[in-house]
Chains A and B, each alone.
Chain A
């Protein structure tokens, strides 16, 4: 696999100019991170933390005020960088007069696909997202979950190496949400890099290899999920066949005793991503 990161964000700062007497607004401040090929990277943060702005900058929809963003080494502002990326925006809508299949054909044609290649790819995506039965229905009649899955299908139509998913489970019921989570896991097994934002932290914990937590436009935590959620000042002991008495004398026994009692693992117990998120985002704002 190539050493070039799938996504690299270097000292990204985005300031929106003020209009009609309003001052300028700094949405993102000196944010840096990379997403390696094949990773699932979660970008999380409260509303207004700068996640969407960062994503838009990565996709070339916004110009960076300072710093730069690249997709597989190509600057995001170059249209060519979008050959490798598929994007699912939050709560997507599509042209209501088109059917699901026509929608996929439309996006495929925009990517330069045509003929049998496009047709078979569209059918493959409809099957993957479970929309085969709804393929001939107009998108105007789709439920939110179906729109979200169609959004995933259109994002994947041109076989991108990177998927950018903005709140892919927003407004979707638990079963629809689980389907999307399973799809993300499936993408990882197929070597597709995924950059995802979500408020469903339990799900993020299940699917992400690495996470970045943003607050007030800054990256406040970033790294491998397992390392981030490890509690440094505590030690976890996992015992097998331990009696209640043994538990009371555990320190001494572990040091002195062998026999049937074994120390299986020693390390740091994990907190949850949710707890880490709340802790990180409630820290006082830096000047």
Chain B
């Protein structure tokens, strides 16, 4: 062990700056901490559920079968990512405080913003990893199913002596539109963006609230309200609806809650509609804006928080 060095006094005056390396250290530790919360078996269970759903729908016609599969699996994926984001984030800060890990971390030269960002990134990295795995499983199942459905439809046409090149091409086009396309990945990306925004809201609330349950319940409420943002806006801008006080309260609600309907592309993808690049950019930009604003407010709250 070396002697304490008086010469280090001069270096101590330099301010501690934001460090991506430090943020990564915290994010990685958060991710591994959450991995220990038995998330992997849950993920495997979800994959098995998706696989079962993929082959479990009755064959109505190829188009409907593929559409139903996408609607169900993407819907469950959306719920999974939001629930995970909220619960994991709501637990992290109180747990670090309870275990005094927060004290040992913040008594090191670690700016509070680095800590917050590290925690948020850790949760988002785990959600992203889970979504990538499930996206791969989903893509594989969809591709297998689309191949099987195409073969079976062509065989049926053949047995009915209706397998003209035009009929086969039509079947191929229907199956291809509803099968594995980039649209599926954009839907998964949209699900990630929505979960990321909700996770940032949960982080903000966990800095304000002292109870984990409160954070979880209020974040779920904000998530639900966020899906009806368009209705709230409509109410606010209709002068003949409600009293002024009600409209002011609704306006505040609309300001606080994110418009989560902006990320709802699952139905379009399930219906085989093309998600344009512009829509992807727009969703990404909106999510980035929401996250920046919520993270900024979270920082303002956390930097003044008495630990």
Are the CB atoms of A4 and B104 closer together than 8 Å?
A: no
Bound complex: CA A156 to CA B104 (Å): 11
CB neighbours (8 Å) of B13 from chain A are 74, 80
Q: How far is the CA of A85 from the CA of B108 in the complex (A)?
A: 7
Q: Does B196 make an interface contact (CB < 8 A)?
A: no
Whether B1 contacts A79 by the Cβ 8 Å rule is: no
State A95–B111 Cα separation when bound (angstroms). Answer: 20
Let me know if B36 and A84 touch, CB within 8 A: no
Closest Cβ of chain B: how far from A37's Cβ, in Å?
8
A159 in the interface, Cβ–Cβ < 8 Å? yes
User: Do A85 and B107 touch (CB < 8 A)?
Assistant: yes
B243 CB to closest chain A CB (Å) equals 30
Smallest Cβ-Cβ distance to A127: which chain B residue? B1
Question: Among the interface residues A59, A79, A159, which one has the most CB atoms of the partner chain B within 10 A?
Answer: A79
Assuming the contacts A72-B12, A89-B103, A95-B29, asked whether A111 and B108 have C-beta atoms less than 8 A apart, the reply is: yes
Q: Mark A193-233, 1 if CB is under 8 A from B, else 0.
A: 10000000000000000000000000000000000000000
B4/A112 in contact, CB under 8 A: no
With A63-B306, A89-B100, A93-B101 as known contacts, state yes or no: A83 contacts B2, CB within 8 Å: no
Chain B 21-47 interface mask (CB, 8 Å, partner A; 1/0): 110011001001101100000000000
Asked if B5 and A112 sit within 8 Å, CB to CB, the answer is no
CB <8 Å contact, A96 and B36: yes
Q: Given the interface contacts A62-B306, A190-B4, does A87 sit within 8 Å of B104 by beta carbon?
A: yes
Which A residues are in CB contact (< 8 Å) with B26? Answer: 110
Q: State the main secondary structure of chain B at its contact with A.
A: loop
Residue in B closest to A158 when the chains form the complex, CB atoms:
B108
Question: Which A residues are CB-close (under 8 A) to B33?
Answer: 95, 97
Verify if A109 is at the interface (C-beta below 8 Å from B): yes
User: Are the CB atoms of A82 and B108 closer together than 8 Å?
Assistant: yes
Given the known interface contacts A97-B33, A159-B2, A192-B4, the answer about A83 and B12 at a Cβ–Cβ threshold of 8 Å is: yes
CA distance A87 to B5 in the complex (A): 18
Q: Are A1 and B101 in contact (CB under 8 A)?
A: no
Once A79-B110, A190-B1 are accepted as A-B contacts, the answer to whether A112 and B22 lie under 8 Å apart by CB is yes
Known interface pairs A80-B13, A110-B22; A191-B3 also in contact (CB < 8 Å): yes
Given contacts A79-B109, A109-B22, contact A89 B104 (CB under 8 A): yes
Contact B12 A80 (CB under 8 A): yes
Determine how close the nearest CB of chain B comes to the CB of A105; give it in whole angstroms.
Answer: 9
**Which residues of chain A from 144 to 191 have any CB-CB distance to chain B below 8 Å in the complex?**
151, 154-156, 158-161, 164, 190-191
CB distance from B217 to the nearest CB of A (A): 19
Q: Are B108 and A159 within 8 A (Cβ)?
A: no
Task: Provide the bound-state CA to CA distance between A91 and B99, in Å.
Answer: 9
Could you say which residues of chain A place their CB within 8 Å of the CB of B278? Answer: none
The one of B4, B36, B100, B304 that contacts A63, using a Cβ cutoff of 8 Å: B304
Task: Give the most central of B14, B99, B103, B104: most A CB within 10 Å.
Answer: B104
Q: Does A128 contact B (CB under 8 A)?
A: yes
**What distance in Å separates the Cβ of A68 from its nearest Cβ neighbour in chain B?**
16
* Contact B21–A79 (Cβ < 8 Å): no
Judge if B11 is at the interface, Cβ distance under 8 Å. Answer: yes
Q: Is B165 an interface residue (CB 8 A)?
A: no
> Is A142 an interface residue, CB under 8 A from the partner?
no
Does A92 belong to the interface (CB within 8 Å)?
yes
CB pair B25–A106 under 8 Å, yes or no, is yes
* Residue among B33, B108, B304 facing the most chain A CB atoms (10 A cut-off): B108
Q: Among the listed B22, B100, B105, which residue makes an inter-chain contact with A91, where contact means beta carbons less than 8 Å apart?
A: B100
Residues of chain A in range 49-87 having any CB-CB distance to chain B below 8 Å = 56, 59-63, 72, 74, 78-87
Find out whether the CB atom of A56 lies under 8 angstroms from the CB atom of B4: no
Tell me if A124 is interfacial: C-beta within 8 Å of chain B. yes
List residues of chain A with CB within 8 A of the CB of B8. 83-84, 159, 161
Are A87 and B304 in contact (CB-based, < 8 A)?
no
Determine if A128 and B107 form an interchain contact, defined as CB atoms under 8 angstroms apart. no
Given that A1-B6, A62-B307, A95-B33 are known contacts, is A83 also in contact with B16, CB under 8 Å in the complex?
yes
Q: Does B19 contact A (CB under 8 A)?
A: yes
**Residues of B close to A124: CB separation below 8 A:** 1
- In this complex, what residue of B is CB-closest to A157? B108
- Beyond A2-B9, A95-B29, whether A56 also contacts B307 by CB under 8 A is yes
Picked from B19, B101, B103, B304, the residue with its CB within 8 Å of the CB of A61 is B103
How far is the CB of A76 from the nearest CB of chain B, in Å?
10
- Contact A4–B100 (Cβ < 8 Å): no
- Residues from chain A with a CB closer than 8 A to the CB of B99 are 92-94
State A89–B306 Cα separation when bound (angstroms).
16
27 examples of A-B residue contacts, CB within 8 angstroms: A2-B9, A37-B6, A59-B103, A59-B107, A72-B9, A79-B16, A79-B109, A79-B110, A80-B15, A80-B16, A81-B12, A82-B107, A84-B8, A84-B12, A89-B103, A89-B104, A92-B100, A97-B33, A106-B25, A128-B1, A155-B104, A161-B4, A164-B107, A190-B1, A190-B4, A192-B4, A193-B4
Q: Give 3 closest A-B pairs by Cβ, nearest first.
A: A87-B107, A93-B99, A79-B16
9 more A-B residue pairs beyond the given contacts A80-B109, A82-B107, A106-B29, with a C-beta to C-beta distance below 8 A: A61-B306, A63-B306, A72-B12, A81-B12, A95-B33, A96-B36, A98-B32, A161-B6, A193-B4
